[in-house]
Amino acid sequence: MAELTTEITLDAPVERIWQLLTDFGLYPEWNPLFTKATGPVNPGERFDLVVKLPGMDPFPIKPVLQEAEPKSRLSWQSSMISSVVLSWTFCYELHCLSSERLRITQRSLFKGLLSPLFTFAMKKPVTDGMNSLNDALKRWGEKGNVSCMKC
């Protein structure tokens, strides 16, 4: 098992960031790591997601949404062949610091027989992708930076 984590503090209301993260239709507009997402934001349901890691071609996955706790936590899990071989759990955690400030933690947890090898090979692209997502959240989420279509 291996975990990669990034954090960023934003000067933005948690409601705005939650809407960006849960409105899958907006992902192509702002999200450099998950460039397309379609399907329901309902725990237990599968949806389609396109992952774009820096330096790699985009690839599709079909994760299962695990949690969608409003304004707090959004997570999903995807498996390669089976969770025994390799599973990837991705999570956003939102920590409200004030009405206009929050900290976002992203976690990528890899489990399974191939997780040590996968993490060794993919640590940099996954971490770089998570950091680019943090930068995009800052651009799109902070007041006055970008006019969000729906936020």
Q: Is 51 left (phi over 0), alpha (psi -120 to 50) or beta?
A: beta
> pTM for this structure?
0.90
The DSSP line for 67-78 is EEETTTEEEEEE
Half-sphere exposure (Cβ direction) of 123: Cα atoms closer than 13 Å:
10
pLDDT at 120 over 80: yes
109 pLDDT tier (thresholds 50, 70, 90): very high
Instruction: Read off the pLDDT of residues 33-50 as tens digits, 9 standing for 90 and up.
Output: 999 999 999 999 999 999
**96 vs 82, more confident:** 96
pLDDT average, residue stretch 6-13? 97
Instruction: Note the pLDDT of residue 8.
Output: 98
What whole-number percentage of the chain has pLDDT above 70? 94
3 state DSSP class of 77: strand
Q: What is the mean pLDDT of the chain?
A: 93
Q: Helices 14-22 & 115-141, crossing angle to 10 degrees?
A: 130
Instruction: Read off the pLDDT of residues 54-86 as tens digits, 9 standing for 90 and up.
Output: 999 999 999 999 999 999 999 999 998 778 899
Q: Which CATH superfamily is domain 2-141 in?
A: START domain (3.30.530.20)
Instruction: Note the pLDDT of residue 106.
Output: 98
Amino acid at 146: V
